[in-house]
């Protein structure tokens, strides 16, 4: 389109497009026209970020005055990329994030980000109670602190399932966008289908309007689920539920905990406790009921994975309409495991693609992602990622 690229570092050959082409040339990836078109969109955003950078210094002090309504800060439109699982959305966004010429940038799982937001809101309210601030509304100062740390936010697999998140998103991102936030997100669903059957959805819909105003909505229509090609059949997901599956899980548990003391553990988190039935070092074992039949959320799973990088989950049942809450929690659990590159050993009533017996609504969309992730967790590439991340034995921050 005759686009002028302001420096060699933002020319397509040196941006996401260049990296994608290099992977194709090396044989690591197959040519994919949809991915290449999306890479060009990322390159245009990189160029806009490079052009805008010098003009931002004069407004740096604006973030200090959270109690006043901030002046609107101009920013390029972000990207919201939606499409089926395993199409390359995350890969392209990660390339973009690495190349983005901003020091203040953050790449996070959406649930992890929102857990941080709620923690900040809680701390602000504690300050209000203690008389340390007169600002009754916590959202503007929380938005100000977030934008101080990261002007560019990149979310992988954006989905909204929690009513507490849904109710705050419009106000939070209204403040963030006004302060110049640039949002890049991947999702399985288009914005109009977010939180589709959630409680009080009318209060969530203004957030969808905000997305359409500040973010370019783009589908990624690659026809191949590349994750499905990675399934190596590693024995980490046993089905059906029978004595053979139990024996395989017990054998794997003995192997993973060899020489370590196995005992129950308790995690203290936000004034309550999370029971861990069996633990040894960085390995923990739960039943499906322990993790998904109890009222646990994404923040609880994040806390568990702060202590353990290998989880055993026994007896995952078929997930029908009567287990809708359990299904939502299982989706969040798998998302958290995957995002932290933790290992999963599991026994289940059926193969991943057959676990959800009633496919409708939001859970149907989201469970496609869960299936794909359960398959990728079985791949040698995923195991290599896990080993690279945890080989030092240091807990991931």
Mean pLDDT, residues 136-162: 92
Confidence of residue 142 (pLDDT cuts 50, 70, 90): very high
DSSP state of 27: T
Confidence of residue 234 (pLDDT cuts 50, 70, 90): low
The most confident of 52-66, 246-260, 276-290, by mean pLDDT: 276-290
Mean pLDDT, residues 325-329: 93
What 3-state class would DSSP assign to 262? coil
Domains of the chain and CATH, by start: 8-219 (3.40.50), 226-390 (no CATH)
Contacts of 344 (CB under 8 A, 6+ apart): 236, 237, 310, 311, 313, 334, 337, 374, 377
For residue 69, the model assigns a pLDDT of: 52
Distances (CA, A) of 90 to 97, 128, 306, 383: 10, 39, 23, 18
More confident residue, 262 or 196: 262
Neighbours of 45 (CB within 10 A): 23
* Chain mean pLDDT for the chain: 84
For residue 231, the model assigns a pLDDT of: 46
For residue 394, the model assigns a pLDDT of: 37
Query: Is pLDDT at 59 greater than 60 in this prediction?
Result: no
Task: Determine the angle formed by the axes of helices 33-52 and 16-25, rounding to 10 degrees.
Answer: 150
For residue 365, the model assigns a pLDDT of: 74
Distances (CA, A) of 143 to 43, 124, 172, 270, 313: 27, 12, 6, 22, 37
Confidence of residue 362 (pLDDT cuts 50, 70, 90): low
More confident residue, 161 or 239: 239
Mean pLDDT, residues 337-354: 93
Query: Is pLDDT at 68 greater than 60 in this prediction?
Result: no
Alpha-carbon distance of 394 to 397, in angstroms, equals 9
DSSP strand pairing (152-156 vs 182-187): parallel
């Amino acid at each position: 389109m005759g686009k002028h690229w302001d420096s060699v570092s933002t020319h397509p050959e040196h941006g996401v497009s260049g990296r994608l082409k290099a992977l194709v040339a090396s044989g690591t990836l197959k040519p994919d026209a949809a991915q290449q078109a999306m890479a060009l969109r990322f390159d245009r955003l990189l160029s806009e970020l490079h052009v805008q950078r010098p003009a931002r210094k004069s407004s740096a002090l604006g973030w200090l005055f959270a109690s006043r309504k901030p002046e609107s800060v101009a920013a390029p439109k972000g990207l919201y990329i939606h499409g089926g699982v395993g199409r390359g959305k995350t890969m392209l966004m990660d390339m973009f994030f690495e190349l983005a010429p901003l020091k203040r940038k953050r790449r996070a799982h959406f649930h992890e980000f929102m857990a941080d937001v709620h923690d900040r809101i809680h701390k602000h309210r504690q300050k209000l109670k203690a008389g340390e601030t007169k600002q009754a509304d916590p959202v503007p100062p929380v938005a100000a602190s977030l934008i101080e740390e990261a002007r560019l936010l990149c979310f992988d697999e954006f989905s909204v399932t929690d009513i507490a998140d849904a109710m705050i998103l419009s106000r939070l991102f209204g403040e963030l966008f006004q302060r110049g936030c640039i949002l890049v997100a991947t999702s399985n669903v288009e914005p109009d289908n977010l939180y589709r059957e959630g409680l009080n959805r009318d209060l969530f819909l203004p957030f969808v309007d905000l997305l359409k105003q500040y973010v370019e909505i783009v589908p990624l229509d690659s026809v191949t689920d590349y994750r499905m090609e990675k399934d190596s059949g590693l024995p980490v997901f046993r089905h059906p539920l029978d004595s053979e599956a139990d024996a395989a899980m017990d054998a794997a548990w003995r192997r993973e905990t060899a020489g370590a003391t196995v005992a129950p553990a308790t995690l203290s988190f936000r004034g309550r406790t999370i029971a861990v039935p069996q633990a040894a070092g960085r390995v923990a074992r739960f039943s499906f009921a322990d993790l998904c039949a109890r009222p646990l959320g994404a923040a609880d799973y994040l806390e568990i994975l702060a202590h353990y990088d290998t989880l055993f989950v026994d007896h995952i049942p078929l997930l029908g309409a009567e287990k809708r809450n359990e299904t939502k929690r299982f989706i969040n659990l798998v998302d958290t495991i995957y995002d932290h590159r933790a290992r999963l050993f599991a026994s289940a009533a059926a193969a991943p693609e057959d676990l959800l017996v009633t496919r409708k609504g939001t859970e149907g969309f989201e469970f496609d992602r869960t299936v794909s992730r359960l398959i990728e967790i079985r791949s040698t590439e995923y195991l290599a990622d896990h080993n690279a991340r945890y080989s030092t034995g240091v807990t991931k921050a």
